[in-house]
Structure 1
C-alpha cells in the first residue's frame, strides 16, 4: 500500500516551496506571500526556527514583499533576517550576500540612492573576495552600482563600467539576447540619455524592446519597462 504524504512531509514542503516561488515569479504576489507564510509556519514546526529551510522561506517572503512594492516591510524583514542568515549560513554564503544586496536594492527603490550606493559597494567588496569579478551575482551588484553612479551625477564613470560589464556578460553567457546582457544594454541606453546622447539611447532602446519581446514576450514587465523608457525619451 502506498503511503499518503502529509503537507509537512519534507518532499511536500519542497514542492510547496516551488509552487509559492513561481507564483511570485509570475507576479502573483498576494498568492505567493500567502503560500510562503503557510510554508514558513510548517517549516518552523518541522525543523525549528534556525533551520536553513526556515531561513530560505523568510528570504522569499522579504523578496516578494519588496517586489510587490511593500518596500519598507521588506527592509524591516531583511533587517531582522540578516543576523539569523549570517549565523546559520555564514557571512560569506550566497544567501547572506543576497539578503544584503536586496537590502541595498530596496533602499534604492525607496528613493535613497545616496544610502544605497555604499551598501552595494560593501556587498561587492565581500563578494569579490570569495566569488571573483564575473560571478553572476557579482555582476548584478556591479550593474546596480553603475546605475546608482549615473543617478547620483556621474554618468561618465557609469557608462565606462557598463561597457566593461557588457563585454563580460557577453563572454559569460555567449548570447546577445540573454536577459542579463539585455539588462546591461538597457542600462547603457538610460545612461546615454543622461549624457544627452538621445539618438544613440533611442536606437539602443529599440533594440532592447525588440529583444525582450522576442525572449520574454510583448507584455512581460521588462519589455513594458523598456518600451515606456523609449516613449518617455521620445516624448510619447
Structure 2
C-alpha cells in the first residue's frame, strides 16, 4: 500500500492563490471558499463552486486571465479527488498550453499543473506516461524550485514508484533510496516524509518479493510512528495495513488477520465503521479469513463490505469494484462459480469504463473473467 501519491496530493493541493481584487463573485473570498470545501472533503460542492467561479472569472476577466487559470487548476484537483481522473487528465492537457503561453513553460504554476497531470495519469494506472512526464518535469522543477524542494522530491518519489510498477526495479530501488537519503538529511529519521519514503521502499521490496526485508523495514517504520505520532494516527494505521499485506505474502495469515482486526477496531472508532479506510481494512481481513479456511465467513464479510461500499461510495467507485473482484475470488473458492463469474464480470466492466483498458486493475479483472470462464474452473 503505497503512500507517496497521497503525499503528492498534499503538496500539489497547495496550488494557486486567490484573486487580487474584491469584486463580488470573482473575489478572493469565493476562491478561498471553494478551496475550503475541497479541503473539508466536500468535493461535489467544491466542484460546483469552482465551475461557477471559472465561469464568472472567464466572463469578467477573460479565459486566459491568470486568476481564471488558477481556478481551473483547482477544478482539476477536485476532479481527481472525485475519481474523475480521465476528465481531470483531459482538462489538465487542455490547460497546460494556455499556462505555458500566458505564464511561461517554467513558471511554478505551469510546472505544478504538470504535476497535477501526473497525479491524474497515476490514478488511471498510466505508469508509462507518468514515467515519461516525470523524466522531463523533475529537471525543470529542480531548476526552478530547487533539487531538494518538497514538490521536486515528491515527484522523484512518484517516478520511483512508477518505475517499480513497470518492473524496472534496477532503476526504481536506487532512485527511492536516494530520495530517502535526502529526506533523512533534511528531516531526520523521524520526519513525516522520511517515514513515508521508508514505507514506500518497503512496498517496493515486497514487489521484488523481498518480504523478510520489507517486514523488518515496516516494523521499524511502525515503531517510530507509534512513538512520534501515536498508535492511532492515520499514517500508523496505513503502515499496519501494509504490514498485513506483507505478512499475508509470507503466509503468516493468522498474524496478518490479527493485525487487521486491531486496525479495524481503531479505524471504526476514530473514522467510523463506514469510512473507506475501515472498509478497505475489512476487505483485507475477509481475504485472510478465506486463507485461514473460513470460506463461508470470508464470503459473508466480502458481501457485507461490498454492500456498505455500494451504499456509501457508489456501485461504480473503484473501492466497490475492487470489492466485487475480491468477492468473486472468494465465491470461486467456495465453489459458487455462477455468482463468482457474475461479480467478476461486473468488476471488469466497471473498471474498463472507469479506469480504461490499460489500467493494471482492468487487466487483473480481465484475467479473472478469463480464468472463471474456462471449463476446468467450472467443473
Fold shared per TM-score above 0.5: yes
In 1, Cα distance between equivalents of 2:255 and 2:231:
22
Deviation at 1:216, TM superposition (A): 7.8
With a CA cutoff of 8 Å and minimum separation of 6, indicate the structure with the bigger relative contact order: 2
What secondary structure does 1:69 align onto? coil
Output aligned runs, 1:1-236, within 5 Å: 2=23, 4-174=60-230, 176=232, 178-209=233-264, 215=271, 218=274, 220=276, 225-235=280-290, 236=330
What secondary structure does 1:234 align onto? helix
Distance 1:224 1:114, change over 3 A: farther
Deviations for 1:63-109, whole angstroms, at most 9, x for unmatched residues?
21011111111111111212211111111111211111001111122
**Which deviates more from structure 2 when the two are superposed, residues 53-62 or residues 109-118?**
109-118
TM-score of the superposed pair, with normalisation by structure 2? 0.55
8 A contact 1:104–1:117 mirrored in 2: yes
Distance 1:108 1:219, change over 3 A: farther
In 1, Cα distance between equivalents of 2:173 and 2:139:
21
Deviation at 1:166, TM superposition (A): 1.6
Distance 1:134 1:42, change over 3 A: farther
Deviation at 1:171, TM superposition (A): 4.0
In 2, Cα distance between equivalents of 1:72 and 1:217:
37
8 A contact 1:114–1:152 mirrored in 2: no
Deviation at 1:223, TM superposition (A): 5.1
8 A contact 2:92–2:113 mirrored in 1: yes
Q: Is there any run of 5+ residues in structure 1 with no aligned partner, and where?
A: none
In 1, Cα distance between equivalents of 2:273 and 2:193:
25
Q: Is there any run of 5+ residues in structure 2 with no aligned partner, and where?
A: 1-21, 27-59, 291-329, 331-379
Of structures 1 and 2, the larger Rg is shown by: 2
Distance 1:207 1:110, change over 3 A: farther
